[in-house]
Amino acid sequence: MANNIKIPIAKSRTTDKLLNIKDVQSGLKCNCYCDLCKGDLVAVNDEGNKQRPHFRHTAESNCAHNNSYESYIHWLTKEVFKEMSSISLPKIGVYSLRNESEDYKEFINEAKLFFKAYNILLEIPNESYLYSIVLQPQKEFKITTVKTEVTYNSKYGYIKVDIVLSMGEQEFFIEPFFTNPIDDFKFKKIVDKDVSTLSLNLRNFVSVNQHLFTIEEFKAYLANDLKSKSWEYVRREKIKALKKVFFDKLDKECNNYRNNHINNNKIRLKMEDKIKKRSELMLQIHHLNEEVDKLEKSIIPFPFDKLIDL
């Protein structure tokens, strides 16, 4: 076989669970198989072997995984997600909304109107401030159920979603990618389904770890690494709720700002009045000091020396 990729994790024929290469016997004794082609895998992990431990297909295999690490890592991602109980999701910001979306344009316009109404738009350094607003901070969510390879119908045709997570009553899509992120056509289908969707970059992990990683390490990456995740779409009801919270808070902050501004003006006017009065008083003191100096100079001293002559 021209290409025989090295893989670190496979399924046991006995338990149908994922196993690390370090946890099995070498050769065909590992009793592991490829979930795609159902063929046997060979474990290369004996101490005398010069190669790093890995699974590989048998020489006669024609499995698609055998030629494509991308195919393998996609499969593994879906299998590992089935074992996960929680996931850290990145923050949702204005930058998470696509620039051409109505939600994005509406949010920016509403924010500008708010700032303009309170006369504080000029105090914002530049418009990029609006685009960096965080609507929801990073959060960790408990996973209720995991489904893989789920097909939905949209007005633009069928859409096949790699991973569908449920957290309570809420579902959202996860689209792992190795080379090609979500294209515009698939994005239109996601928008039509109105389900929050997260893209997950697998290449970053593979480029660092190659085939030298364990189930636990990959699971930790999928669950906790925030740099690999980005929001492709946030459902309309979620954006609506987040916008309400944000603008309610903004309204309160703007009112506080306006009240503080009014109070500051009152304090400033009072200070200016006191400063004016102090200046006037200082001028009066200056004139009084001058008069005192004149009076001191006009006093005729008592002639003690004349008393001696007497």
pLDDT at 68: 82
pLDDT at 2: 43
Q: Domain boundary at 200, 215, 234, which?
A: 234
Q: Are residue 84 and residue 56 in the same domain, yes or no?
A: no
- Whether 41 maps to a domain, the answer reads yes
pLDDT at 116: 79
Q: Are residue 79 and residue 206 in the same domain, yes or no?
A: yes
Q: Are residue 73 and residue 206 in the same domain, yes or no?
A: yes
pLDDT at 127: 65
pLDDT single digits (tens) 68-89: 888 899 999 999 999 999 999 9
Q: Are residue 76 and residue 15 in the same domain, yes or no?
A: no
Q: Are residue 162 and residue 34 in the same domain, yes or no?
A: no
Over the chain, what is the mean pLDDT?
87
Q: Domain boundary at 172, 205, 234, which?
A: 234
- Whether 294 maps to a domain, the answer reads no
Q: Are residue 59 and residue 150 in the same domain, yes or no?
A: no
Mean pLDDT of 53-82: 88
Q: Are residue 188 and residue 48 in the same domain, yes or no?
A: no
- Whether 96 maps to a domain, the answer reads no
Q: Which has the higher per-residue pLDDT, 284 or 310? A: 284
- Whether 297 maps to a domain, the answer reads no
What is the Cβ-side half-sphere exposure of residue 139, based on CA atoms within 13 angstroms? 10
Mean pLDDT of 278-306: 85
Q: Are residue 152 and residue 225 in the same domain, yes or no?
A: yes
- Answer whether 246's CB lies under 8 Å from 135's CB: yes
- Whether 60 maps to a domain, the answer reads yes
With CA atoms as reference, report the closest residue to 69 among 20, 19, 13, 9.
Answer: 9
Rounded to whole angstroms, the Cα distance separating 269 from 138 reads 44
- Whether 191 maps to a domain, the answer reads yes
Q: Are residue 83 and residue 174 in the same domain, yes or no?
A: yes
pLDDT at 94: 85
pLDDT at 123: 60
- Answer whether 25's CB lies under 8 Å from 43's CB: yes
Q: Are residue 77 and residue 166 in the same domain, yes or no?
A: yes
Q: How many domains does the chain have?
A: 2
pLDDT single digits (tens) 117-155: 777 665 665 667 777 788 899 999 999 999 999 999 999
pTM exceeding 0.95: no
Q: Are residue 60 and residue 150 in the same domain, yes or no?
A: no
Q: Domain boundary at 183, 209, 234, which?
A: 234
pLDDT single digits (tens) 174-223: 999 998 899 999 999 999 999 999 999 999 999 999 889 999 999 999 99
pLDDT at 161: 95
Q: Are residue 186 and residue 78 in the same domain, yes or no?
A: yes
Domain span including residue 80: 69-90+138-234
Rounded to 10 degrees, the C-alpha dihedral 53/58/61/64 comes to -10
- Whether 204 maps to a domain, the answer reads yes
- Whether 256 maps to a domain, the answer reads no
- Answer whether 168's CB lies under 8 Å from 86's CB: no
